[in-house]
Structure 1
Amino acid sequence: MRGGSMWEWFIGLVSQILATIQSVVGDWGLAIIILTFIIRLLLTPLSIHSTKSSARMQALQPRMMEIQERYRDDPQRLNEEMMKFQRENKFNPFGGCLPLLLQMPVFFALFSVLQYHLPADAHFYNILDSLARSVGGAVGEFGYFGAIVYVVMDLLFGLLTFLPLYINSRNSAPDQRRSSLLMGIIMSVVMIMFGWNVPVGVLLYYDTSAAWGAIQQVFITNRVMEQVKRTEEEKFANQITVDVVRKERKPRPHKKH
């Protein structure tokens, strides 16, 4: 099976799953929300794995900086010590990225289904009369007041993009916090502009997924990161204590024959 055919088959599979859920619940909007929940739930173990990898890298970063500072005038020794440190601590710089890369095909397929394969009459109860209509199209047809729900969906997309960055920045240094907040504002504006011209069904998916991500971050991600960081810091502190004791232990005097 060729790459294009495989991708088309995958999109068709996602489309069929969405249609099956809709046939059970009787509403396309609710079907999108349920499918998004199912996907996020299935991918939660990957997200937790990614969080643990990121937390370990953050916890080990100060130790790596110490090594870089200690051997900055000896590149060969620096390289040897860094490789040794990474090997002893099972350091994997791609551990936090790989799960995210594995999620991308699922999200792109769902995006494609929502943008190109929804029926023209697909709706979300009496809240959104057409999931295939864009926010810009609704405003052009009904005006801002008549399309207020569509506009709110787009603004909510921007807000939910900003929220995780805001949560992460609370414990950061002032300069890093300002940079994170500025980046969050810029990303939010870009997402609002992007959301203006896509079918509102896509926004419903993104809003649901982002809301899940924000809740997961508050109740799971932050706690996992704190636990992993604490474990790594305690392990490193114990290693330092053992090394100090070994260095302070005097050699036993040899008996004279």
Structure 2
Amino acid sequence: MWDIFKDWIFDVIQFFYNFCHDWGLAIIIVTIIFRIIVAPLMHKQAKSNYAMQKVQPKIQALKDRFPDDPTRQSQEMQKIYAEMKFNPLAGCLPMLLQMPIFIALFQVLREMGDRVGETSYSFYNLVPNLVQTPSGAFAEGFGTFIPYLILMVIFAGATFLPMVLQQLKTENTQQKNQTLMMGGIMSIMMLWISWGSPAGVLLFWGASSVIGIGQNQLTLARCRAQDKKREEEEALVVKPIEVNVERKEKKKRPKKKR
């Protein structure tokens, strides 16, 4: 069953290759189509991450209020989640659903050299061989290695950049530093992974990540605009109506003559 799924993905890549006659461009086209298909899932994930940022200060306040009572913390957190209609698992589900597609694409691109009899899979004149790994290109000389190095940087940077963008609006310095440190460590791990990965895999993942960052920023901008509009509407409802009442001067009553 898994091999059939991988064969279907390869057939799709080869279908677009027959039109554009470039393996790199065919991979990018498939990546764009894939991102369009999973766009609703990514939209939900971005909304969940945005909601988590809003909930985080309240959760930290609970931890400070009940430091020695984890049961009470859990109960109060459930109340906050219910109040804000936030589901902590909502952000994990989209990633779990799309992981099989990512893994299948990764394996297909690694097997490209065995599936077709061609000796090279170029991306125009930018990347000479998409089956070649950065480590193999480095052994051939630094000039050959440069395009693969660029793919490695994009591959790792696309992991770090979303975390930076996510923390721009965060006022919690400790949380921001922890997230950025985690992003830095993950980027180093991605560089290590990319060293032995075919360039086609790096091209797919880099293009997918760049498109995903754009989708994520559009969703966050929409969420912030909705929150701003909601706050303005609530302010109009709560604001008391000011009525300008002009008081007329009282006329002095004439004194009665006795």
TM-score tier, shorter chain, comes to 0.7 to 0.9
Aligned pair 1:32/2:27, yes or no? yes
Alignment CA distance shift 1:152-1:113 (3 Å):
same
The one-letter code sitting in structure 1 at the alignment partner of 2:98 is: Q
Q: Is the 8 A contact 1:59 1:232 kept in 2?
A: no
Larger radius of gyration: 2
Check conservation: 1:56, 1:228, Cα contact below 8 A: no
Structure 1 residues 221-230 or 13-22, which shifts more? 221-230
The 1:231–1:51 alpha-carbon spacing in structure 2 relative to 1, beyond 3 Å, is farther
Q: Provide the rounded CA distance (Å) in 2 between the counterparts of 1:76 and 1:178.
A: 28
Kindly state the Cα deviation for residue 129 of structure 1 after the two structures are TM-superposed: 1.8
Q: Percentage identity across aligned positions?
A: 37
The residue type paired with residue 51 of structure 2 is R
Equivalent position of 1:254 in the other structure: none
Q: Distance in 1 between matches of 2:213 and 2:66?
A: 41
Q: Write out aligned runs for 1:1-257 (5 A).
A: 6-63=1-58, 83=78, 86-87=81-82, 89-118=84-113, 119=116, 120-141=119-140, 143-172=141-170, 173-218=172-217, 220-227=218-225
Q: 1:132 to 1:232 in 2, by over 3 A?
A: same
Q: Please tell me whether the aligned partners of residues 47 and 220 of structure 2 are also in contact (alpha carbons under 8 angstroms).
A: no
- Normalization by structure 1: what TM-score? 0.76
- Give ranges in structure 2 of 5+ residues lacking alignment: 239-258
How far apart are residue 114 of structure 1 and its match? Answer: 0.7
Contact map agreement 1:55 1:228 (CA 8 A) in 2 = no
Aligned-partner Cα distance in 1 for 2:149–2:211:
21
Q: CA deviation at 1:73?
A: 8.9
Q: Is there any run of 5+ residues in structure 1 with no aligned partner, and where? A: 1-5, 242-257
Q: Which moved more, 1:226-235 or 1:51-60?
A: 226-235
SS of aligned partner of 1:193: helix
Q: Secondary structure at the match of 2:91?
A: coil
| Closer/same/farther in 2, CA of residues 96 and 128 from structure 1, 3 Å limit | same
- Cα offset for 1:17? 0.6
Letter in 1 for 2:87: N
Q: Root-mean-square deviation (CA), in Å?
A: 3.0
Q: Distance in 2 between matches of 1:178 and 1:80?
A: 28
Deviates more, 1:53-62 or 1:169-178: 53-62
Shift of 1:79: 6.4
On the 8 A contact 2:43/2:215 being kept in 1, the answer is: no
Q: What is the number of equivalent residue pairs in this alignment?
A: 231
- SS of corresponding position for 1:125: coil
Contact residue 59 and residue 229 of structure 1 kept, 8 A:
no
Partners of 2:128 and 2:63 in 1: CA distance: 59
Partners of 1:155 and 1:83 in 2: CA distance = 41
Deviations 1:59-117 (A, max 9, x none): 34445666777788998887666555544554322111111111111111111111113
Higher alpha-carbon deviation: 52-61 or 7-16:
52-61
Give the superposition deviation at 1:200.
0.6
